[in-house]
Structures are given as structure tokens and as C-alpha cells.
Amino acid sequence: MTFKLIILCYLILMILLCVLNLHLSLIQGTSVHLCSTILDVISSIYHQDSANYFILEPQNTLSQCAEKIHMKTEEIQVGRIAKPLSVR
């Protein structure tokens, strides 16, 4: 039982660190493709499991993204990026 708890704590810590790094990259990033991809990844983390919201909320990731998104280009704000061509 203790081993499962340690693994769970480790996974939660990894999610927190991942989102924190993504958030910092989003704020500093200038590439439309990079910033759009980061927003997609952050969104998928939040949508993957409802518990992720409660785990990540203390970091204020969503509110900080909302505060900084106006400094990004319109393409990033609305998520209109060209999708990469599929490889055949």
C-alpha cells in the first residue's frame, strides 16, 4: 500500500513540474507553432482527468495563461495554426 502511495505522489509531482515548465515556455515563447502546441498540451492535461484541475489549480496555471495571452499574436490566441503535413 505504501509503495502505491509513493508512486502516486511521484506521478502528481511529475504532472506539476511538466505543467510548470510548459507554462514558462508559453510565456517566453515567440513561435506560433510552439505556443499553440504548448496550449494544446496544457489543455489536454486538464481535460484528460477531472482530478488534474484540482491538482494543478494551486499553481494558477490557467489564470496566469489568461493574463498573458493578450501579449501573444492573434494566431496563438485563437489557435489558428497550419497543421503539419501528414507523412505518407
pLDDT digits (tens, 9 = 90+) for 3-58: 788 887 888 888 788 887 888 888 888 888 888 888 888 888 888 888 888 888 88
Separation CA 47–CA 79 (nearest Å): 17
User: Buried b vs exposed e over 58-73: b needs ≥16 C-beta within 10 Å?
Assistant: eeebeeebeeeeeebe
Domain ranges (residues) in the chain: 2-78
Q: How far apart are CA 4 and CA 55, in angstroms?
A: 18
C-alpha cell at 13: 509531482
And the C-alpha cell for 22?
510548459
**Distance, CA of 22 to CA of 75 (rounded, Å):** 19
pLDDT band at residue 1 under the 50/70/90 scheme: low
